[in-house]
Structure 1
Amino acid sequence: MDDNEIFQLGELMCFVTRDSLWQPAEQWVRARSPGSSLHCRVGSGQATYHRFDPRDKQHQITYGVRMIAAKHQRESASGWLSGREIQRRGYFGGELSTLNLLAHTCCHEFAHLLQHSAGQRFRGSVHNRHFYKILDELHQSGAADATRDALADQARQKGLALPDACFEPVDTRQQLARWQVGDTVRFGAGQRELEGQIIRVNRKTCTVDGIGHSRGVRYRVPVQMLNRLTPSR
């Protein structure tokens, strides 16, 4: 998919989050915090998150385009927390696909909104038992299935490819063994491709210091997204 199609998928994720998740819960949220609102946006990078601004009581959910692109590739999709949640907790039958991953991402970030509204998000304890109780309920209640169906339907109407074919996860342990501190790498795709040098090998990711036009920026990159940077001759 090209950059424009990836961005359009991000906009559909925003629409589905508001329509399938926010609307049914809006009254519940506002009963706990009157005047609360939700703004969804598509970010230019990888970061995907929920944030709350107490000044205007606005919840903001951001879906990063690099996250959306990564979840289209088997090699990079299974390294995300959303993929591990689908498999370990049996969401969507435990099956990994681009459609399942993106729909679950909507549910994951919205669960943070509900967690915050319930006063159960604490410093240093974000993905806690309260969070997973909420996330489990979104799946058990049928809200997650409705989100997935709506996302698939919207993509179909827009003529956007949103694969629902299942794929097997990649063994990150074997991939991590390929990398060591000092290796130069590239990651991302197209106009969003970045370059950097590995400064730390973590359990499932590598910490990379940007080089070239990315100098001065540090990234935590899922190992599946890394490719070796071949020196130019």
Structure 2
Amino acid sequence: MSPDHHQSIQLGDLLCEATEQLLWPSARHWVRERQPNSLLECRVGHGQATYHRFDSRQQHHLITYGARMVAAKQQAETAIQWLSSREIQQRRYFAGELSTLNLLAHTCCHEFAHLLQQVAGKRLRGSVHNRHFYGLLDDLHHQGRAEEVRGYLAEEARRRNLALSATPFTPPDQRTLVDQWQVGDRVSFGEPPRRKRGRILKVNRKTCTVACDPGTARYRVPVQMLRRLVVSPGD
């Protein structure tokens, strides 16, 4: 395991602690009124998949923070590909300022809002990042929960000698983002479990037209959302 990956796992552990110690206690009573005996477990995965899942039989909520997601949010070029970056900028969370610290604190709130959304019965098939979800996410920021998480992450990272930068970074220029793509490039976009894969058919001014595999579905995808697929020989 590389030192960088090991540190990403340690930072992921901090996200778990912040979620369990700050966000969960503030909502536990409300959750258990609707889902008696509900429990929350947070864990760190070695990949980039970051998500909330609920086991209705066990009344068990699971939030996974991917170590590679943590690593991706260490620099602007990879951080801008994540939905959390666009949410911070467009909804003016943390005054719209992007930094690794802000992105990771917001990620905790984003996944916890999915937990609250599921408990409220508003996580619908084909409608995950919907109006109800963003109402819950807005509340976590406006009520100061996001700042609490941010402060906890900053203090604990400092105490444990983990690098967690609060320095703002500037997203890459739009033209630079567009110029890195060509017709025929194989790409993925979206987050698990709804990630899609395909091939670029057309490069536009701010988006790429992608034909997804399998089938013929086409999507106009903002270039910030695209990730390059490594193609094995013979693919």
Shorter-chain TM range is: 0.7 to 0.9
Aligned residues: 204
Task: Give the ranges of 4+ consecutive aligned residues of structure 1 lying more than 6 Å apart after TM superposition.
Answer: none
CA distance in 2, matches of 1:184, 1:145: 38
TM-score (normalizing by structure 2): 0.80
**Shift, 1:177, TM fit:** 2.8
| CA offsets 1:41-72 (integer angstroms, 9 cap, x no match) | 11111111111111101111111111110100
CA distance in 2, matches of 1:207, 1:78: 11
**Aligned partner of 2:118 among 108, 116, 119:** 116
CA distance in 2, matches of 1:151, 1:81: 20
Q: Which residue of 1 aligns with 2:222?
A: 203
CA distance in 1, matches of 2:185, 2:60: 42
**Aligned partner of 1:151 among 146, 153, 168:** 153
**Residues 120, 130 of structure 1: 8 Å contact kept:** yes
Q: Which residue of 1 aligns with 2:168?
A: 166
Gap runs ≥5 in structure 1: 186-196, 217-233
**Shift, 1:77, TM fit:** 1.1
CA distance in 2, matches of 1:138, 1:67: 21
Identity of aligned residues (%): 55
Q: Which residue of 1 aligns with 2:191?
A: none
- The alignment's C-alpha RMSD in Å is 2.2
Gap runs ≥5 in structure 2: 188-196, 201-207, 209-220
Q: Which residue of 1 aligns with 2:8?
A: 6
Distance 1:172 1:43, change over 3 A: farther
CA distance in 1, matches of 2:67, 2:198: 23
Q: Which residue of 2 aligns with 1:33?
A: 35
Where do 1:1-233 residues align within 5 Å? 2-183=4-185, 199-200=199-200, 201=208, 202-204=221-223, 205-206=225-226, 208-212=228-232
| CA offsets 1:80-136 (integer angstroms, 9 cap, x no match) | 111111111111111000000000000000000001111111111111110011001
Code of the residue aligned with 2:15 in structure 1: it is: M
